[in-house]
Amino acid sequence: GAGVSQTPSNKVTEKGKYVELRCDPISGHTALYWYRQSLGQGPEFLIYFQGTGAADDSGLPNDRFFAVRPEGSVSTLKIQRTERGDSAVYLCASSSDRSGGGTDTQYFGPGTRLTVL
């Protein structure tokens, strides 16, 4: 079946602009995660959704970052007043989370490469 998809694959924007990044998880997956991967680093946790609610948003770096998942499927990561330091690859992952303990396999999307000029 279809995997996790993310759009756009690339986004170039100017400092101060607003951007939205979209994630379509695998159908039926209740858990959804956003990560940020800067050049030469491992992915950094941003936020975790269980269904429609953000169960853990402790990784969001500041209040310019916000994410929603209104119907428990597609999620959008929103970044206001973008800064050059926001440039990174933003990854989305989903899992079925059947065990409820976060040990189910996370399936990652290809990522959105965000460049802030």
Partner 1 sequence: AQSVTQLDSHVSVSEGTPVLLRCNYSSSYSPSLFWYVQHPNKGLQLLLKYTSAATLVKGINGFEAEFKKSETSFHLTKPSAHMSDAAEYFCVVSGYNFNKFYFGSGTKLNVKP
* Binding interface with partner 1 (CB under 8 A): 3-4, 31, 33, 35, 40-45, 48, 50, 55-56, 58-59, 91, 93, 101-103, 105-106, 108-111
The contacts of residue 75 (CB under 8 Å, 6+ apart) are 22, 23, 25, 32, 34, 49, 67, 68, 69, 92
Q: Considering beta carbons, is residue 16 or 100 the nearer one to partner 1?
A: 100
Q: Considering beta carbons, is residue 16 or 53 the nearer one to partner 1?
A: 53
Q: Considering beta carbons, is residue 53 or 85 the nearer one to partner 1?
A: 53
**Smallest distance, Å, CB 40 to partner 1?**
8
Handedness of CA 84, 85, 86, 90 (dihedral sign): positive
Could you tell me which residues are beta bridge partners of residue 5? 24
| Integer Cα distance of 12 and 54 in angstroms | 27
